[in-house]
Structure 1
Amino acid sequence: MALRSERSLDQTDWKIVRELQQDSRLSFNELGKRVGLSAPAAAERVRKLEDAGIITSYGARVDATKLGLPLLVFIQLRCAPDRCLFKTSSAEKFPEILEMHKLSGTHCAMLRVALSSMEHLEALQERLNAHGEHTTNVVTSNLFTRPIIDWEKPEVDLHPSVQQEWDRR
């Protein structure tokens, strides 16, 4: 498991990343105050984090339920040869799909999907049938979400090989 990034983050970088994950609308003045930098220095650090590809975008998290999409499902997809979902179709044709991950193992992709109803799910499944087999899991409750990545100092016992990688950082 590789934990090393292409660019090493120091404590100040981690503070900036933490603060912007919590509130991406912070002004450079406020961000600087929170991390102990001037506004221009904070802006320069953020620019470097963006240039390094560590900060990739800014946005708002929304409540899909309040947008009329209360049903969250995960779909494991096993595409048929020559019918891969995003090779033979386009993302625009599947606006319900929030995320698609390529997988190893028996399924080729994992989809995270937000839907308005069970009827909506059934219609999506019918559209997916053209691409191959799929297994659907309906989320009954969300027990844990980690919207913020904060691995500067892990507070857990790591496997020795992972701990060695951390120690090399």
Structure 2
Amino acid sequence: MLDDLDRRIVEILAEDARISLKALAQRVGLSSPSASERLKRLEERGVIRGFTVDLDPAAIGYGLQAIVRIRPLPGKLHIVQKLIEEIPEFSECDKVTGDDCFIGRLHLRSIDQLDGILDRIIDKAETNTAIVKSQPVRRRLPPLGPA
């Protein structure tokens, strides 16, 4: 569980992971050493796993996104999972319950690129693809308040 101060630290870092320790400390009303210790404990507990860059795929030429549901053929689950892990255009993939085993998000430059990727999987799995029109909710933190 997070106390109010930890929640505030995480919220500030989610807005700007590059904030200086001094500025973070000022915003939460702590000294720099106290803020540093809080941050260290959040990392040690695994609450904060890392600091990252929020990249816009379209800005580097990946203007197309697709969601692919993947149902491996019998006996092909591990082969399909390894293939997915090796294809860099898969920016995310979840192993799920239900009819499909995997749901992945692909960032692509073209439909032709999508075809090439699906061709690598098609003899090992059934796929169902949807092209993303927009993303009304981008990846965000889960609610940080008390349950």
Q: Using structure 2 for the length normalisation, give the TM-score.
A: 0.92
Structure 1: gaps spanning 5 or more residues:
1-7, 154-165
CA 1:111–1:90 in structure 2 vs 1: closer, same or farther (change >3 Å)? closer
The residue that corresponds to 1:99 in the other structure is 92
Partners of 1:82 and 1:122 lie apart in 2 by 24
Structure 1 residues 31-70: aligned runs within 5 Å: 31-70=24-63
Q: Does the 8 Å contact 1:83/1:131 carry over to 2?
A: yes
Aligned-pair Cα RMSD in Å: 1.5
* Aligned partner letter, 1:50: E
Q: Secondary structure at the match of 1:136?
A: strand
How many residues align structurally?
A: 145
Q: Does the 8 Å contact 1:79/1:131 carry over to 2?
A: yes
Q: Secondary structure at the match of 1:77?
A: strand
Cα distance, 1:146 vs structure 2:
4.5
Q: Does the 8 Å contact 1:64/1:114 carry over to 2?
A: yes
Structure 2: gaps spanning 5 or more residues:
none
**Residue from 81, 86, 89 that aligns with 1:86:** 81
Q: Write the deviation string for residues 25-60 of structure 1: whole angstroms up to 9, x where unpaired.
A: 111111000111111111110110001111011111
**Residue from 127, 132, 138 that aligns with 2:120:** 127
Q: Does the 8 Å contact 1:14/1:150 carry over to 2?
A: no
